[in-house]
Amino acid sequence: MASISSEQHTDSPPENMSSSSLHGAYVRVAEPHEYPEVIDMLTRAFARDPSMNWFGGVKELVPTYNDQPDQDKYSPATKQTLKNLRAFQNTLVRGSTLQGGFVTVVVIPTDSGGETIAAATVWLKPGQAMDFPISTVLRSGVLKVLFRWGVSGCKRVLNDFNPYVEATLDRAFKSRSLDRLDSWHLLEMGVDPPYEGKGLCSLMMKDGFKRTAPKPVHLEATKVRTRDIYAHYGFEVDEEHCFGKGSVDSSGIIAKGEAATGYPEWVMTKVTSFFFLCAHSRN
């Protein structure tokens, strides 16, 4: 799956949105009753993600939050794109947690005494893989994804994407003489658009490395910018793949001719999370 959102989007600003509202932000494990809010946030965060666009057969790129923060003014096609994507995000979150994984969230205290979920990560633990049992797949809501993205969309995820990533990971871990399953999978990291660029990724990374050390962590990045963010935190590129060539552009939007370049995706692994944690423990 794609990891870390970029060029994000939202339908309405979170409560108490301001630079001062970031005071007191911290990371914790999400409670099950918070999953719907997390799913909504991840839908906004990944609304412009190339892999999500390719999976969903999207024809029209969702506007950025700065360009159009009001969802009521979206085109019918864009509204449908978000509904479809939410079904997929629901399956990722539900399936991962049913499999034994977990979700962490960055929460920010509000003036009313509550908390705003500003960012989230989805993790699979060592020994857990994306090939969920059929019972887990059904309980995660995959039939809604099939209904919204169709057979072709599910095929892109299961047949055209996952095998390449899994084969890359097998080669990468074998080259390091490491057990592929003895590693963590950072399935997704998303920041709600109004909070992008405010240091929340750093909060989640530091929390993640505390939880995962000293095991390796692997992920996928879908843009140069996000690839470089992960490289900053010590992840190394295992392989680069181009998906959707001949059918979508660099944003994952359906295209033809010379515009149908496909989009790049980088499989990345970090082996030394323990040493990173020690080096950054004073920050």
CATH number at residue 72: 3.40.630.30
Residue 61 is part of which domain span?
19-280
Q: Which secondary-structure segment (H or E) carries 164?
A: helix 162-175
Residue 13 lies inside a defined structural domain of this protein = no
Query: What integer pLDDT is reported at residue 9 of this predicted model?
Result: 38
Q: Give CA angle at 217 (42, 116), nearest 5°.
A: 30
pTM of the prediction? 0.88
Number of domains the chain contains: 1
Nearest to 118 by CA among 45, 205, 212, 216: 45
pLDDT of residue 1: 57
Residue 3: inside a domain, yes or no?
no
**162 CB burial (10 A radius; 0-12, 13-18, 19+):** middle
For residues 276 and 240, what is the distance between their CA atoms, to the nearest angstrom? 24
Residue 12 lies in a domain: no
Q: Block means of pLDDT (10 residues each) for the chain, length 283 residues? A: 49 42 88 97 96 98 84 90 98 94 95 93 91 83 95 95 95 96 96 91 94 95 93 96 98 98 98 53 42
* Residue 131 pLDDT: 74
